[in-house]
């Protein structure tokens, strides 16, 4: 797992900040995804919020506090789009996230690990998912074997991990 101390001279801090800014902009503008991002110990930290069916999450992605007048906020809380209409929007947002991380990994190949370290594994391409999984480890709930998460199943008992 990558780790950097602030002020390190041999790490490209500028590229990391540019990658975080570009990724945030792409996901917010192209996918209407709520993104909270920051740098921590030389890695990008991502909090991503997909469409929940409310008008507010579409018009103001990532805002936690209401940006609407009180009468519109009460309507927004009472009525949401049906799941049938939410699913295609969320699938589009997942595609935008996948493409954004793929773009960032191609644009900044020297800091791929720092960019994808904290990215949601379910929303990455197969190669990036495997690369992130190799940085993290877990324990199987069935056989208690400790292993890296580059595979979705336990190597000992083949039990799916974390699902």
pLDDT in tens, 6-32: 877 888 889 999 999 999 999 999 999
Q: What is the pLDDT of residue 162?
A: 64
The chain-wide mean pLDDT, for the chain, equals 88
Looking at per-residue pLDDT, the higher value among 47 and 3 belongs to 47
Neighbours of 70 (CB within 10 A): 7
Highest-confidence range of 54-68, 86-100, 138-152, by mean pLDDT? 86-100
Looking at per-residue pLDDT, the higher value among 100 and 161 belongs to 100
**Could you tell me which residues are beta bridge partners of residue 36?**
47
pLDDT exceeds 70 at position 137: yes
Strands, E assignment, the chain? 34-40, 43-49, 137-139, 146-148
Lowest mean pLDDT among 82-86, 87-91, 114-118: 82-86
pLDDT exceeds 80 at position 124: yes
* Mean pLDDT across 57-83: 85
Give 123's Cβ-side CA count (13 Å radius).
Answer: 24
Cα–Cα distance measured from residue 83 to residue 19, given in angstroms and rounded to the nearest whole number: 33
From 151, 126, 118, 119, select the one nearest 137 (Cα to Cα).
151
* Mean pLDDT across 35-53: 92
Angle at 117 between CA 113 and CA 121, to 5 degrees: 120
Q: What is the pTM of this model?
A: 0.85
What does each C-alpha distance from 81 to 37, 67, 140 come to in angstroms?
27, 19, 38
């Amino acid at each position: 797992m990558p780790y950097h101390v602030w002020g390190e001279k041999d790490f490209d801090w500028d590229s990391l900040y540019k990658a975080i800014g570009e990724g945030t902009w792409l996901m917010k503008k192209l996918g209407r995804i709520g993104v909270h991002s920051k740098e921590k110990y030389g890695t990008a930290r991502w909090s991503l919020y997909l469409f929940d069916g409310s008008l507010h999450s579409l018009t103001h992605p990532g805002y936690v506090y209401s940006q609407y007048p009180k009468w519109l906020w009460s309507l927004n809380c009472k009525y949401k789009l049906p799941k049938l209409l939410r699913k295609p929007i969320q699938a589009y947002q997942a595609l935008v996230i996948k493409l954004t991380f793929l773009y960032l990994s191609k644009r900044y190949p020297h800091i791929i690990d720092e960019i994808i370290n904290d990215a949601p594994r379910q929303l990455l391409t197969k190669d990036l998912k495997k690369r992130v999984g190799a940085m993290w480890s877990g324990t199987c709930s069935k056989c208690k074997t400790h292993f890296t998460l580059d595979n979705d199943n336990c190597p000992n008992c083949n039990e799916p991990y974390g699902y």
